[in-house]
Amino acid sequence: MDNVVAVSGATGFIGSAVVRRLLRDGRTVRALIEPGANEQNLAAHPGVDRVHVDVRDYVAMARALDGCSAFYHLAAVYKVWTPDPTQLYAVNIEGTTSALLAAKTARVPRIVYTSSIAAVGGLPGGEPSDETVPFNHFEAANPYILSKYLSERVALRFAESGLPVVVVNPAFPFGPGDLAPTPTGAIILSILRRQVPGLPAGGFCAADVDDVAAGHVAAETRGRIGERYILGNHNISMRDFVQLVGRIAGVHTLNVPIPSWMGIGVAAAMEAVSKHVTHSEPLATVKSAKYVLGPAYFNPAKARAELDLPCTPLEETIERAVRFFRDSGMAP
């Protein structure tokens, strides 16, 4: 079998970081690209084999995966809000099912499925969750969170049936290459654009995108089939994150605490404007605000022990993200 590694979602933020990591390790990469996707993140890698394919197309995916020694399935729609979630569910759930069926047909010997920490449940009082905490966000789950939970269940059922699937659950990733931007990158952009009116409540788990990519590759070679691994390093409050980005970027941030009730109100207003006026994704929604108010903290001990997950200092990660957004003209 050829030593070709397939990566779906290869033009995306995490997907392109995985491609870079694989190329650094001397692997041959076949990038599976959604038709019409922005390929800028692959511009520096003209030698990568590119296959334009819809992950929901089982026949085309089986053809694309033929002869591959490994498959990283990262293709997903990552949005906290959309006027019509049909496409989100189709890609995230139907696409995962079709892609894994295709991998089974192609007899790919190793598969890494990219889930999300959103598929891991939360613990009361902000105690960090590990991989054993069952999903319990049904009330606060937006379509993206629910789709990742359901698609992860699909992946784990495939693993139970004998498909060699390892699941990784990335935290909030930051760093260069966030062209979309993702909802996580939008947090930094909002600070750079001085759109944050104060210091929000809540918190989340952050990770450098290149650390997340390293965790993916380690999951292929060292991860246990049917297991999931949290790829996150830094549990940080929203208050501290806003202040840290402001300090690193040289942007003044308002030292005014925003209580939970006010944050939810602001998110509701943003969501209403998106629904009735702009029809574009808001910075926050009521459900996404409630999620980080948990706060959403996680324990990466398993990934550090079994995958040797690296841990880039958060300050360095933010510096790289800020530089990318400014160099690309996305932020002042």
46 pLDDT more than 80: yes
197 pLDDT more than 70: yes
* Integer Cα distance of 230 and 213 in angstroms: 12
Q: Sign of dihedral through CA atoms 306, 20, 153, 3?
A: negative
Confidence of residue 2 (pLDDT cuts 50, 70, 90): low
Domains and CATH numbers, the chain: 4-171+208-232+298-311 (3.40.50.720)
Q: What is the pLDDT of residues 68-107, one digit of tens each?
A: 999 999 999 999 888 899 999 999 999 999 999 999 999 9
Beta partners for residue 28, in sequence order: 4
Which segments of the chain does DSSP mark as H helices, in order? 13-24, 58-65, 86-89, 95-105, 143-160, 183-192, 209-222, 238-249, 260-273, 286-292, 301-307, 314-327
The amino acid sitting at 91 is V
Q: What is the pLDDT of residue 284?
A: 80
1 pLDDT more than 80: no
Q: What is the pLDDT of residue 313?
A: 98
Q: What is the pLDDT of residue 322?
A: 98
DSSP 262-322: HHHHHHHHHHHHIIIII-S--S--HHHHHHHTS---B--HHHHHHH------HHHHHHHHH
Q: What is the pLDDT of residue 289?
A: 79
Here the tokens at position 183 are: 């909802």
Confidence of residue 269 (pLDDT cuts 50, 70, 90): confident
The total number of residues shown for the chain amounts to: 332
Q: What is the pLDDT of residue 278?
A: 86
Q: What is the pTM of this model?
A: 0.95
Confidence of residue 294 (pLDDT cuts 50, 70, 90): confident
Cβ(129)–Cβ(228) under 8 Å? Answer: no
* Integer Cα distance of 82 and 8 in angstroms: 22
Angle, nearest 10°, between helix axes 13-24 and 209-222? 60
Q: What is the pLDDT of residue 241?
A: 97
Between 101 and 125, name the one with better pLDDT: 101
User: Among candidates 155, 210, 144, 206, which has minimal Cα distance to 177?
Assistant: 210
**Beta-sheet pairing, 172-174 with 111-114:** unpaired
Q: What is the pLDDT of residues 233-250, one digit of tens each?
A: 999 999 999 999 999 999
| Beta-carbon count within 10 A of 78 CB | 19
* Lowest mean pLDDT across 53-67, 162-176, 283-297: 283-297
Average pLDDT of every residue of the chain:
94
Instruction: Assess whether the previous peptide bond of 173 is cis (omega < 30° from 0).
Output: no
DSSP secondary structure letter of residue 87? H
Here the tokens at position 33 are: 């690209």
Confidence of residue 262 (pLDDT cuts 50, 70, 90): confident
Cβ(11)–Cβ(39) under 8 Å? Answer: yes
